[in-house]
Amino acid sequence: MTDGPTDDQLTSQIRLDLEALYRAGKQDFPDKAEDMSGWGTTLGTLLDDAQAQAAKAADVTSLVFNDLQQTHYLLYEAVRACVLTLNDCAEGCLAAAAQLRQEEDTSGEAYAGLSGELPWLTDDAPAPQAPEPPARPDPTA
């Protein structure tokens, strides 16, 4: 009876951890950030449209358009922050994978097996970054 996991079990677990970190940093988080960046573009267009409508509106309806602009602006800022956060998460996953590779004794073998099978996943390229929606001033300020 052994006291802990065997080297093969440890290597297998480290490999699974490395693959999950690399996949999250190179694929999962960047894909979601790209999706959110697209929503940012759409919301930016809607915000521009709301501003144009507010400029044309009579005084009676301007309060409604101000609320609409504010809602669009806050949603746009939330999406923008989400893109930044997802990009940061992708970088963090790759940094965690690199640290795991350096700290674990059996990680060299696990990494070699993973990089042999999935070289695109484990190359030293930085995490893909989705374009950040540009900062906008608050239209109601």
3-state secondary structure of 45: helix
For 39-79, the pLDDT digits (tens) are 999 999 988 887 787 777 766 567 777 788 888 899 999 99
Top-confidence residue, 114 or 91: 91
The percentage of the chain sitting over the pLDDT mark of 70, rounded to a whole number, equals 94
What are residue 10's phi and psi, to 5 degrees? Answer: -65, -45
Instruction: State pTM to two decimals.
Output: 0.82
- What pLDDT, on the 0 to 100 scale, is given for residue 36? 95
Residue 4 has pLDDT above 80, yes or no: no
Q: How far apart are the first and last CA of the chain?
A: 70
> What's phi and psi for 6, nearest 5 deg?
-75, 165
Q: Is 43 helix (H, G, I), strand (E, B) or coil?
A: helix
The more confidently predicted of residues 117 and 43 is 43
Nearest-10 crossing angle of helices 107-117, 7-23: 50
| Segment 12-32, tens digit of pLDDT | 888 899 999 999 999 999 999
The stretch 100-105 carries a mean pLDDT of 80
Mean pLDDT, the chain, whole residue set:
85
Rounded CA separation 91/95 (Å): 6
137, burial (CB in 10 Å: exposed 0-12, middle 13-18, buried 19+): exposed
How many Cβ atoms from other residues are within 10 Å of residue 116's Cβ? 9
